Structure 1
Amino acid sequence: MTALPWDDFWNNDVVAIVTNSSSAESLLTSPESALSSSEQTQLLLYDIFIPLLGALIIGLNLAVVISSMLLLRKGLFVCVFVRVDGWNRWKQPYTTYLFLGNVAAADLLTGFAVIYGQYAPREIRGEDNCAILIVSTTLVSVYSVGLIAVDRYLYIMYGLQYQRYITPGRARLLIVGTWLLGLVVGFLPAFGWRGDTEGGRICWFIRLAPPPLVILTTVLGIIPVLVVIVLYSIILHKAIRRVAQLKKATREQQGASLA
């Protein structure tokens, strides 16, 4: 039986259409199949280690948050007790516990963000959630560390004047400021300034953020790091000078006693 011309057309084209449709369906149902082998390996390692890291972050920082709350309650009681006795100074660095608790709270949310990005249903995951949860909490944590450095610098360098510079009200305002900054930068990808994370499946900052946003976030993150380095270097320099002065005074006192 002689094959008609349209038989070849039917056989070849229909097979091609069915094949292409199956490939497209497989890509839609399995986005990971469009990734390279190295990216699939990275996703596999991500699926294994990131939940463990998130659980570790949550456990450690939850303990810090609880201990900070307990210390704050104790500090408030001591402050009231001292003032009733007529003393005009605080016995507990109340604001320091506020800053420590803020760092732990930000890191705690980072741990929850990691778990959320791993196990939340794909329908409610996306680039916006990824950016807000990861970028915001990370910036808040870094700036909170900078606030602790400023707090310790004023406490060590100025001593009795510390409470005049850092009050609980000002500490709360600074903490609110760190969260506002983190939320503003975290919401930038929600306004279209973002890359591609496979619909939130690959919640990696380097894929979420375009190069300009990566540079902006890096610069904002470096500022508190530089503040920490400078302030603690000043504290270390003064401590070394103080130790040298004490050693010199001790030697002079010993020489005078021998004479």
Structure 2
Amino acid sequence: VPLNTSAPMAEWSWVVYTVLEVLIAVTCCLGNTLVVCAVCVGIRDSLREPTFCFLVSLAVADLLVGVAAVPLAVVLDGWVNLTPDLCLLLSCVVLVLTQASVLSLLAIAVDRYLRLHTPLRYKALATQRHSWLAVSVCWILSCLLGFTPLFGWHNYSPLTSESNNTSSFSLIAPPCTFLSVISLPFMVYFNFLGCVMAPLLVMTLLYTQIFWSLQGRLKENCPQAQASLLREKRLAYSLALVLILFAVCWIPLHLMNCLLLFHDLPVLTVKKCYFPGILLSHANSAINPVVYAYRIPKIQQAYSHIWRQVVLRGNCCRGDKEVQHSQRRVNQKGGPHANEQGHSK
């Protein structure tokens, strides 16, 4: 594999890369925690709507990017020595989270399509139980697809590595890098074309059909019905924007994998572009909460409600501290007789 090298980046570039990853991770954690709280607590009966259930699933996947994928991206750069099996397992975690995001976006697109084109059947299908069942299916499929390299489609041979370790009597594990254990043909043919591009194409067709149908209905219906259709169109635009941002942030990294597979490029040339691509893919998880805030009115209102509660509690705590401080000053000035008078009253 062209990128299978144990030499990490230069020290200064690694520091810049790590600092940016830490900032992205913190933003992912704070923003997506706020999204989960806004949907689950701030919006009444939101979890009865399938779209918001799938948005929570997407936010959880983005939250786990900050918690797990970003730290692993820093670790899986040849800076630690791990056994090939453990290195492969950690690398697959990143694939699982990416796949969970893709399938959550696909579930959202299918939900909006069914809501618009089969309204009578949709009411019977769109129950809370069915929504969470669909979320569970998304995550189970994500684990099956993301952990596929564990079943044999990887870069190293366990028997070969064991024989090499036995012959050399070396107890030091090799440096762990993502592409030292993950096969490039797997990343291009299976992960990119099959697990990312195919769902993206399906989602593009679904949203095209949704917008085409909404545009036709807006011309035909009365003004009372148009208000509901306009809300539906605004939400569809917002969800399509989330999809577009996902594609813009993730496809460059996959295209670099294609270049690595089909062209023999120098390692240093690839690494100069590879790490900005990783940062861009992780930044997608930090951007989504901002999109929700600006484009989805219900979540925007929930953000405002949570912010008001935080400010109100802060003011209450500050007021309580001021009251206690002023009471303490009165007691100090009045001395013990003031306390006795206060008790007698």
Do these two structures clear the TM 0.5 threshold for a shared fold by scoring above it? Answer: yes
Which amino acid counterpart does residue 144 of structure 1 have in structure 2?
A: S
Within the candidate set 86, 99, 104, 2:54 is matched to: 99
Larger radius of gyration: 1
User: Are residue 208 (structure 1) and residue 182 (structure 2) matched?
Assistant: yes
Q: Distance in 1 between matches of 2:190 and 2:109?
A: 23
User: Are residue 71 (structure 1) and residue 39 (structure 2) matched?
Assistant: yes
Q: Distance in 2 between matches of 1:96 and 1:165?
A: 13
Query: Over aligned residues, Cα RMSD in angstroms?
Result: 3.5
Q: What CA deviation, in whole Å up to 9, does each residue of 1:64-90 have, x standing for no partner?
A: 343333323344xx45xxxxxxxxxxx
Q: Give the aligned partner of residue 145 of structure 1.
A: 105
Q: Give the aligned partner of residue 82 of structure 1.
A: none
Q: 1:110 to 1:227 in 2, by over 3 A?
A: same
Q: 1:43 to 1:117 in 2, by over 3 A?
A: farther
Which amino acid counterpart does residue 80 of structure 2 have in structure 1?
A: R
Within the candidate set 53, 56, 59, 2:24 is matched to: 56
CA contact (8 A) 1:113 1:134 kept: yes
Q: Give the aligned partner of residue 242 of structure 1.
A: 217
Q: How far apart are 1:220 and its partner, in Å?
A: 2.0
Within the candidate set 156, 159, 168, 2:128 is matched to: 168
User: Are residue 122 (structure 1) and residue 80 (structure 2) matched?
Assistant: yes
Q: Distance in 2 between matches of 1:154 and 1:56?
A: 35
Q: Distance in 2 between matches of 1:55 and 1:138?
A: 19
The 10-residue stretch of structure 1 (215-224 or 144-153) with the greater mean CA deviation from structure 2:
215-224
Which amino acid counterpart does residue 224 of structure 1 have in structure 2?
A: P
Q: Give the aligned partner of residue 147 of structure 2.
A: 187
Within the candidate set 54, 69, 84, 1:113 is matched to: 69
Q: How far apart are 1:154 and its partner, in Å?
A: 2.3
* Structure 2: gaps spanning 5 or more residues: 157-172, 223-345
* Structure 1: gaps spanning 5 or more residues: 1-33, 80-90, 248-259
Q: Distance in 1 between matches of 2:5 and 2:82?
A: 22
CA contact (8 A) 1:117 1:130 kept: no
Instruction: Give identity over the alignment, percent.
Output: 23
CA contact (8 A) 2:100 2:138 kept: yes
Q: 1:221 to 1:119 in 2, by over 3 A?
A: closer
CA contact (8 A) 2:87 2:177 kept: no
CA contact (8 A) 1:68 1:98 kept: no
Which amino acid counterpart does residue 220 of structure 1 have in structure 2?
A: C
Which amino acid counterpart does residue 114 of structure 1 have in structure 2?
A: V
Which amino acid counterpart does residue 50 of structure 2 have in structure 1?
A: T
Q: 1:46 to 1:217 in 2, by over 3 A?
A: farther
CA contact (8 A) 1:61 1:104 kept: no
Q: 1:129 to 1:187 in 2, by over 3 A?
A: same
Q: Distance in 1 between matches of 2:10 and 2:111?
A: 40
Q: What CA deviation, in whole Å up to 9, does each residue of 1:207-238 have, x standing for no partner?
A: 62241453122212223212211111011111
Alignment of 1:22-33 (within 5 A): none
The 10-residue stretch of structure 1 (141-150 or 171-180) with the greater mean CA deviation from structure 2:
171-180
**TM-score scaled by length of structure 1:** 0.61
Q: How far apart are 1:171 and its partner, in Å?
A: 1.5
Q: Distance in 1 between matches of 2:97 and 2:175?
A: 17
Relative CO higher for 1 or 2, CA cutoff 8 Å, sep ≥ 6? 2
Q: Give the aligned partner of residue 287 of structure 2.
A: none
Which amino acid counterpart does residue 184 of structure 1 have in structure 2?
A: L
How many corresponding residue pairs?
A: 197
Q: Distance in 2 between matches of 1:122 and 1:208?
A: 17
The 10-residue stretch of structure 1 (57-66 or 163-172) with the greater mean CA deviation from structure 2:
57-66
Which amino acid counterpart does residue 140 of structure 2 have in structure 1?
A: L
Q: How far apart are 1:183 and its partner, in Å?
A: 1.4
Q: How far apart are 1:151 and its partner, in Å?
A: 1.5
CA contact (8 A) 2:39 2:56 kept: no
The 10-residue stretch of structure 1 (49-58 or 165-174) with the greater mean CA deviation from structure 2:
49-58
CA contact (8 A) 1:132 1:187 kept: yes
SS at match of 1:194: coil
SS at match of 2:176: coil
**TM-score scaled by length of structure 2:** 0.48
Q: Distance in 2 between matches of 1:92 and 1:172?
A: 9
